[in-house]
């Protein structure tokens, strides 16, 4: 019984680290599309909001980068949209793994 638990725990850890290491770009792109992010953002050009590539440049390699971006896309901070203070949009799917995948995808650009 104990062995079974150990095995199950080991498998869980392995699955978690695989999920952590790999960005599912297709899922991230689908998420930003269904959440309406692309009205204001594009991957490589500035629209109302910064290009995701510029966001990546700004936060890549920073220890608090992922946390900051997770907050940006889940807690509706007030941003300046064309001179108007507006709550920033959140991702539709706020499942932590899905949010993390979007953030890691942006940082990988």
Q: Which residues pair with 80 in a beta bridge?
A: 85
Q: Contact between 23 and ligand HEC (CB under 6 A)?
A: no
Among 27, 40, 70, 109, binds ligand HEC (CB under 6 A): 40
Q: Contact between 73 and ligand HEC (CB under 6 A)?
A: yes
Q: Contact between 101 and ligand HEC (CB under 6 A)?
A: no
Q: Give CA–CA dist 83/80, Å, rounded.
A: 6
Question: Any idea of the CA torsion for 9, 13, 14, 19, to the nearest 10 degrees?
Answer: 140
Q: Which is nearer to ligand HEC, 23 or 49 (CB)?
A: 49
Q: Which stretch binds ligand HEC (CB under 6 A): 6-14, 17-25, 71-79?
A: 71-79
Angstrom CA distances, 35 to 7, 25, 65, 66, 90, stand at 38, 15, 21, 19, 7
Nearest to 30 by CA among 100, 107, 88, 102: 102
Q: Contact between 28 and ligand HEC (CB under 6 A)?
A: no
Footprint of ligand HEC (CB under 6 A): 32, 35-37, 39-41, 48-50, 55, 58, 69, 72-73, 79-81, 88-91, 102, 106
């Amino acid at each position: 019984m104990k062995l079974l638990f150990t095995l199950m725990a080991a498998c869980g850890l392995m699955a978690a680290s695989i999920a952590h290491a790999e960005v599912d770009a297709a899922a991230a792109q689908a998420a930003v599309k269904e959440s309406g992010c692309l009205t204001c953002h594009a991957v490589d050009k500035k629209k109302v909001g910064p290009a995701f590539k510029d966001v990546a440049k700004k936060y890549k390699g920073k220890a608090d980068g992922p946390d900051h971006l997770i907050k940006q896309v889940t807690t509706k901070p007030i941003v300046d949209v064309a001179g108007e203070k507006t709550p920033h949009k959140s991702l539709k799917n706020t499942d932590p793994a899905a949010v993390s995948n979007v953030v890691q995808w942006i940082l990988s650009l």
